[in-house]
Chain A
Amino acid sequence: MSRARSGGAHARPPIRMFRNFSSKLAAIPMVLVGLGVFVGGTIWTIVHSFTDSRLLPRLRWVGFDQYERLWSTRRWLVSIENLAVYGIVSLVLTMCLGFLLAALLDRKIRYEDTFRTIFLYPFALSFIVTGLVWQWILNPEFGIQSIMRGLGFANFNFDPLYNPDLVIIGLLIAGLWQGTGLIMVIMLAGLRGIDEDIWKATRVDGIPVWKTYVIVIIPMMKPVFVTALVLVTSGIVKLYDLVVAMTSGGPGIASEVPAKYVYDTLFTRQNLGQGFAASTMMLVTVAIILIPWAYMQFREKRQ
């Protein structure tokens, strides 16, 4: 830009394509990989979801049969329901808890570094480790339940992983424990970006602290919230390893999730067509959520 401008009024306007030529050149490999792997792979998957491919992909068309079967499979319906419940609750709680913790840390408390480390630490663990740890903690024979009973509460009952109605809560506890720290740190960074003068001004006006957060600070942190939202949502859709480590879908099929259905049909059941249909449905779900959001962002920028 600056070079083009320094060329003076006589210079011809630069060809748009060659602006920032070197950076565009450098981006070409990434663009190719993106097109080939992501777009190409996606199209290939969608095309094969209309075939009766089993262990090996083949182009023998069966129309929408795979989708019909998918939506009449109980396990898939349970998976979708579980993901919806887990997704909504975990989204709301992660954002709220993350922000709350960040706001508390931001009140200039003592040993802030220590607390930050403690809260962020679970994020350093993989979902598999998190899942195994919480599987032990929630195990009625060794974990919380037996400790509480040992302390004298003989009727204390807490075994969510063995109760089909509560198993999602068990997953949520582990998921929140692992994920909240990261959101807290992102929120904290956002809070640190708020100018001190704003706080001074609200104090002069006598606005209570909680009101300042709700009316002034949170609207100012919109980009931070959007980033956190995208991170949390993408984590929810691909929920898989936590379930495998904690319950492997049980008890019964009470904690199955779509990604696990896809993996199981693709690999252990050797039914590529069905697995591709399921993964295409996952893609469609993500698209339904993301496209309106992207559209809104785009329109805002143009205005």
Chain B
Amino acid sequence: MKKTLALLASTSLISVGSSAFAVDLEVTHWWTSGGEAAAVAEFARLFNEKTEHNWVDGAIAGSGGTARPIMIGRITGGDPMGATQFNHGRQAEELVEAGLMLDLTDLAEAEGWRDFVNPTSLLDSCTLDGRIYCVPINIHSWQWLWLSHKAYEDAGVPVPTNWDEFVAAAPALEEAGKIPLAVGQQPWQSTGAFGVMSIALAGREAWEAVHIDQNAEVAAGPDYARVFEAAANARSFAARSNVQDWNQATNLVITGQAGGQIMGDWAQGEFQVAGLVAGEDYSCLPGLGVNEIISTGGDAFYFPKVNNPEVEAAQLELASLMISKEAQVAFNLKKGSLPVRGDIDLQAANDCMQKGLEILATGAILPDANQTFSPDTQGQIEDLMVEFWNDPNFSAEEAQRLYAEIIANAD
């Protein structure tokens, strides 16, 4: 407690010492859906209240894929914003290497980020040559299978508790006229579902060998053969889900037209908005109920370098605010994501979120694929998955061979 107080005191000293001038700080991000906008509004509110500066909202519509090129274009083109969102991982790696980002190391050391950021791998993702260049904001995990109780009741089979039961129950759902697995047509959704299956079914060691050591032999081996077999199964279960967006697919589960969906924890917001109760109307199975491991993707904020000490001071204040306890609680409750601090208590969180927090506490976590692979490699895997997912004649063996090839050339 004393330590926390000291930290808070030092933070406020920094802010009092430097905020002589009000600065309009433009913050760019791609949070535009209802829940996301509400979450980012919490940051804006706190920033405007707690400091003398003004939050200028630079939301970019579309998704990260649309927004990132615009952000990178502005930074490399000499028109940097005050702060900008990226995902945890390597998306801004080269911008940092080129010296375009503000070094936050002094602030991080003064506030002791390394002591409370959990998992510390998030901070490692921000670190280059021992210097820290970004503030982790939240943790989103992909490894969830959302199940509709109504769909299984209608089909007259019990709600599955793991992937094998899910596969076994699929024919009953088909007979009842339901879609066993809802998957949207957008490429990232099938790629994400494949990633979930690989962690859950190939297991931790094989996943680490492929993603961290980039071992193509493991990718071509029997552990991953299971994953591709499961993916081929999932493809036939999802054959009739003709929706585009992820939330439309989630809606199929909510209304009981589909049995389940493999989707990240952001799907939870949809169930909440629809007024469903976790455990009664829907279930969530972390790690497909096989391996309860979650990956720790999410968002971080970077602060492009500007040659203006006043703006720089404002940037540091925002960085400090974003990782403060108050902002972490306010933001993550609205966003439905897990906080990056290990030292706060989220009592308002619901069942599924609590499950996530428990897994986080036991340390059964892996980095996100965005942290281990470059966007280029990720893109190649996405192309492969999209083709595999849409062509029933594309065999699992062929897909695995091509996947191993990508891993062999990955960086």
- Chain A contacts to B: CB under 8 angstroms: 54-56, 69, 73-75, 162, 164, 248-254, 264-265, 267-271, 274
Contact = CB atoms under 8 A, between A and B. Distances in A.
Interface string B38-80: 0000000000000000000000000001001100100010000
Contacts of A55: 72, 93-95
Contact of B387 (A162, A248, A253, A271): A253
A270 B383 contact: no
A56 B389 contact: no
B376 A269 contact: yes
A54 B94 contact: yes
Given A164-B391, A250-B390, A251-B390, 14 more contacts: A54-B376, A55-B72, A56-B94, A69-B409, A73-B380, A252-B386, A252-B389, A253-B387, A253-B390, A269-B379, A270-B72, A270-B94, A270-B374, A271-B375
Contacts of A249: 386
A253 B379 CA distance: 13
Nearest to B65: A268
Contact of B68 (A56, A268, A274): A268
A16 B223 CA distance: 77
- Top 4 nearest A-B pairs (CB, nearest first) are A252-B390, A267-B69, A55-B94, A269-B379
Most B C-beta atoms less than 10 A away, residue of A75, A164, A265, A269: A269
B98 interface: yes
A54 B374 contact: yes
Interface residues of B, number: 27
Contacts of A251: 185, 390
A250 B69 contact: no
Contacts of B390: 164, 250-254
Contacts of A271: 375-376, 379
A162 B379 contact: no
Best-buried of A56, A73, A252 by chain B (most CB within 10 Å): A252
A270 B376 contact: yes
A269 B381 CA distance: 11
A264 B375 CA distance: 11
Contacts of A269: 375-376, 378-379
Given A56-B98, A270-B374, A74 B387 contact: yes
A264 B185 CA distance: 18
Interface in B229-257: 242
B200 to A, nearest CB: 24
14 contacts: A55-B95, A56-B98, A69-B409, A75-B383, A250-B386, A252-B386, A252-B389, A252-B390, A252-B391, A253-B386, A253-B387, A265-B379, A267-B68, A268-B379
Nearest to A141: B242
B403 to A, nearest CB: 12
Nearest to B185: A250
A254 B386 CA distance: 10
Interface residues of A, dominant DSSP: loop
Contacts of A164: 390-391
A42 B402 CA distance: 33
A248 B402 CA distance: 23
A49 to B, nearest CB: 15
Nearest to A140: B242
Interface string B128-145: 000000000000000000
A162 B98 contact: no
B371 to A, nearest CB: 15
A111 to B, nearest CB: 42
Contacts of A73: 380, 383
Nearest to A256: B383
A252 B186 CA distance: 9
Interface string B370-410: 00001110111001001101110000000000100000010
Contact of B383 (A54, A69, A74, A162): A74
Interface string B278-311: 0000000000000000000000000000000000
Nearest to B63: A268
Contacts of A56: 76, 94-95, 98
Interface string B163-199: 0000000000000000000000110000000000000
Indicate the member of A55, A264, A274 with the most B CB atoms within 10 Å.
Answer: A55
A270 B72 CA distance: 10
A60 to B, nearest CB: 13
B376 to A, nearest CB: 4
B185 A270 contact: no
A274 B386 contact: no
A254 B383 CA distance: 11
A99 B192 CA distance: 49
Nearest to B379: A269
A250 B186 CA distance: 9
Contacts of B374: 54, 270
Contacts of B383: 73-75, 253
Interface in B91-120: 91, 93-95, 98
B91 to A, nearest CB: 8
B245 to A, nearest CB: 12
Interface in B154-168: none
B174 to A, nearest CB: 20
Contacts of A264: 379
Nearest to A55: B94
A250 B188 CA distance: 13
A248 B185 CA distance: 10
A139 to B, nearest CB: 10
A162 B376 contact: no
Nearest to B76: A56
Most central of B95, B376, B383 by chain A CB within 10 Å: B383
A52 to B, nearest CB: 9
A164 B392 CA distance: 11
B76 A252 contact: no
Nearest to B69: A267
B411 to A, nearest CB: 9
A271 B380 CA distance: 11
Nearest to A53: B94
A44 to B, nearest CB: 15
Contacts of A54: 94, 374, 376
A210 to B, nearest CB: 46
A249 B374 CA distance: 22
A69 B376 CA distance: 12
A250 B387 CA distance: 9
* Of listed A54, A270, A271, residue having the most chain B CB within 10 A: A270
A167 to B, nearest CB: 11
